[in-house]
Amino acid sequence: MEVEKSAESNKKSKNNRDKKMTRKEVNMEASYGTEWPVEEKVKRREMVSSEARYIFVYEISNVDANITLKLSKKGRCNADGMDDKGHLVAFVHYRFTIEEEIPVLYVYELQLEHRVQGKGLGKFLMVLIELIAQKGKMSAVVLTVQKANMIAMNFYRNKLR
């Protein structure tokens, strides 16, 4: 497995940005309910900020028909979510920022396709985020979860401890 991270900004391809938004819509629309149309616009602006950083996870099939996951920093997906790296199945959107005068790594999004959830990938990505925060001398990893998103609440409360 190859591990890379991204320092992408406004130069991100429209197709890759659209694929990430599709992943968010599938996972988040129910949690936000009627607020989603407004929140979607906010999320789109956050994604193209020069402060945005990403970790992408691609699924690739090898000649033995086994499935392999690949972490990548730069992905250019077409409309099907496919590129030379494979199918985008997960991503983390994060930033280095200051919260209440404390340097933190803020996780804006952790999105996984439903079929790859519950297999340790989310936990692996959060451990990777913690390592990135430590390397960057951040004091904490911070994130926000919608209370209505019970799957995410369970993940952060029970799986990461």
DSSP string, 141-159: EEE---TT-HHHHHIIIII
Mean pLDDT of all residues belonging to the chain: 77
The range of the structural domain enclosing residue 142 comes to 14-159
Q: When comparing pLDDT for 73 and 129, which is higher?
A: 129
| Residue type for position 131 | L
Judge whether residue 152 has pLDDT over 70. yes
Lowest mean pLDDT among 34-38, 46-50, 104-108: 34-38
What would the mean pLDDT of 24-47 be, rounded to a whole number?
64
pLDDT tens column, 41-59: 666 767 778 899 999 999 8
Residue 27: pLDDT band (50, 70, 90) is low
In a domain, 60, yes or no: yes
In a domain, 70, yes or no: yes
Contacts of 8 (CB under 8 A, 6+ apart): 52, 53, 54, 73, 74
Residue pair 98/138 in contact by the 8 Å Cβ criterion? no
Alpha-carbon separation of residue 103 from 18, 46, 48, 55 (angstroms): 30, 19, 22, 20
In a domain, 7, yes or no: no
pLDDT of residue 75: 44
What would the mean pLDDT of 107-115 be, rounded to a whole number?
94
Judge whether residue 17 has pLDDT over 60. no
What predicted TM-score, i.e. pTM, was given to this entire model?
0.68
pLDDT of residue 132: 98
Lowest mean pLDDT among 46-50, 53-57, 63-67, 116-120: 63-67
Q: When comparing pLDDT for 30 and 20, which is higher?
A: 30
What would the mean pLDDT of 49-72 be, rounded to a whole number?
76
Number of domains the chain contains:
1
Contacts of 159 (CB under 8 A, 6+ apart): 122, 123
In a domain, 4, yes or no: no
What is the percent of the chain with per-residue pLDDT over 90, rounded to a whole number?
45
Residue pair 99/30 in contact by the 8 Å Cβ criterion? no
Please classify residue 129 by burial: count the beta carbons closer than 10 Å to its beta carbon, then call 0-12 exposed, 13-18 middle and 19+ buried.
buried
In a domain, 6, yes or no: no
In a domain, 59, yes or no: yes
- Give me the CATH number covering residue 100: 3.40.630
